[in-house]
């Protein structure tokens, strides 16, 4: 089995081509992610709705609805392996996701529009699901947030991830403003049960929350993750989100023969 170890802004994945094959994806996720300590596992499959289908699993073997950085990486995997061209559509559990190759390393995807956007789910935290069913995210502002504060904030982030206000659990996205149209974020991810170096849907959820609150009039946000900067662009009007785009770097770290 050929396995690619990839990352998008530090968010890392083990990736295989599963077209025409039958695998136990849950077990593969558990086994392969242990090799590198990857955040997740992805498999490409046939689709009758898109260029290909994405199966996404967290490192603990739980299935995820979608993954923004994972989608960007799987687009590169598909292009580099001749599965799709420079413009493609990916079938995910959260819906169809268009993707574009911008350069050898830069890829962009259109994230799913919010299936749920509740700015007041908790007094100090919004709740966002991108897609229907969507990836669940809690968004909380932590003024002055620094990445080195992660250990001190972990108990709070873990409690937010498991808060009963979020019926499916939630990725906990903590953010602070660092400039005009710029934020720094720290994400404690469901299924990884720890911080990750970047979160694509988390970056999109923070941007959607700020846009819906009227704090992002231009609709474009630079999101500084520990592993790299992602750019989110939101198109919408009258309080309705029409499109969300996520772009940033991808990297093929290593290939394994298992």
150 and 243 both lie in a single domain: yes
Q: What is the pLDDT of residues 164-188, one digit of tens each?
A: 999 899 999 999 999 999 999 999 9
Catalytic positions: 67, 199
For residue 61, is the peptide bond before it cis, meaning its omega torsion is within 30 degrees of 0? no
pLDDT at 133: 79
20 and 54 both lie in a single domain: yes
pLDDT at 132 over 90: no
Identify the CA nearest to 107 among candidates 15, 223, 231.
231
pLDDT at 22: 94
135 and 224 both lie in a single domain: yes
Label residue 231 by pLDDT band (50, 70, 90).
very high
Contacts of 41 (CB under 8 A, 6+ apart): 13, 14, 15, 25, 28, 29, 32, 33, 56, 57, 58, 59
pLDDT at 238: 86
Q: What is the pTM of this model?
A: 0.93
pLDDT at 135: 85
Identify the CA nearest to 145 among candidates 113, 168, 120, 177.
177
82 and 22 both lie in a single domain: yes
Q: What is the pLDDT of residues 194-206, one digit of tens each?
A: 999 999 999 999 9
146 and 67 both lie in a single domain: no
146 and 49 both lie in a single domain: no
Quote the percentage of the chain above a pLDDT of 70.
Answer: 100
123 and 65 both lie in a single domain: no
Q: What is the pLDDT of residues 30-61, one digit of tens each?
A: 999 999 999 999 999 999 999 999 999 999 99
pLDDT at 131 over 90: no
169 and 78 both lie in a single domain: no
163 and 77 both lie in a single domain: no
C-alpha separations of 158 from 171, 178, 184, 189, 193 in Å: 9, 24, 19, 9, 8
What integer is the mean pLDDT of 73-80? 98
d(CA 110, CA 66): 12
What integer is the mean pLDDT of 225-243? 95
Q: What is the pLDDT of residues 78-125, one digit of tens each?
A: 999 999 999 999 999 988 999 999 999 999 999 999 999 999 999 999
pLDDT at 134 over 90: no
160 and 223 both lie in a single domain: yes
User: Could you tell me the residue range of the domain that residue 12 belongs to?
Assistant: 2-108+250-257
d(CA 141, CA 50): 37
* Residue 26: CATH number of its domain: 3.10.310.10
237 and 127 both lie in a single domain: yes
Quote the percentage of the chain above a pLDDT of 90.
Answer: 92
Q: CB count, 10 Å around CB of 27?
A: 12
pLDDT at 174: 98
Contacts of 209 (CB under 8 A, 6+ apart): 117, 119, 126, 128, 139
pLDDT at 28: 98
The count of structural domains within the chain is 2
């Amino acid at each position: 089995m050929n396995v690619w170890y990839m990352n998008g802004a530090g968010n890392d994945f083990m990736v295989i081509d599963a077209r025409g094959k039958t695998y136990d994806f849950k077990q593969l996720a558990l086994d392969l992610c242990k090799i590198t300590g990857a955040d997740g596992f992805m498999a490409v499959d046939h689709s009758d709705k898109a260029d290909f289908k994405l199966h996404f699993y967290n490192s603990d073997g739980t299935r995820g609805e979608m993954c923004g950085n994972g989608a960007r990486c799987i687009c590169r995997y598909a292009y580099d392996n001749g599965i799709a061209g420079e413009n493609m559509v990916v079938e995910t559990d959260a819906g169809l996701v268009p993707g574009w190759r911008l350069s050898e390393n830069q890829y962009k995807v259109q994230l799913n529009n919010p299936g749920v956007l509740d700015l007041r789910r908790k007094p100090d935290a919004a709740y966002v699901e991108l897609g229907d069913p969507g990836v669940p995210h809690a968004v909380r502002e932590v003024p002055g947030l620094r990445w080195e504060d992660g250990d001190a904030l972990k108990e709070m982030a873990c409690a937010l991830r498991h808060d009963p206000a979020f019926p499916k659990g939630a990725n906990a996205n903590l953010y602070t403003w660092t400039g005009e149209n710029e934020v720094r974020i720290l994400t404690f991810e469901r299924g990884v049960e720890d911080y990750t170096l970047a979160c694509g849907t988390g970056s999109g959820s923070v941007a959607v929350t700020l846009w819906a609150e009227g704090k992002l009039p231009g609709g474009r946000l630079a999101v500084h993750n520990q592993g790299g900067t992602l750019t989110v662009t939101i198109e919408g009007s009258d309080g309705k989100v029409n499109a969300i785009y996520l772009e940033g770097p991808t990297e093929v770290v290593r290939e394994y023969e298992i």
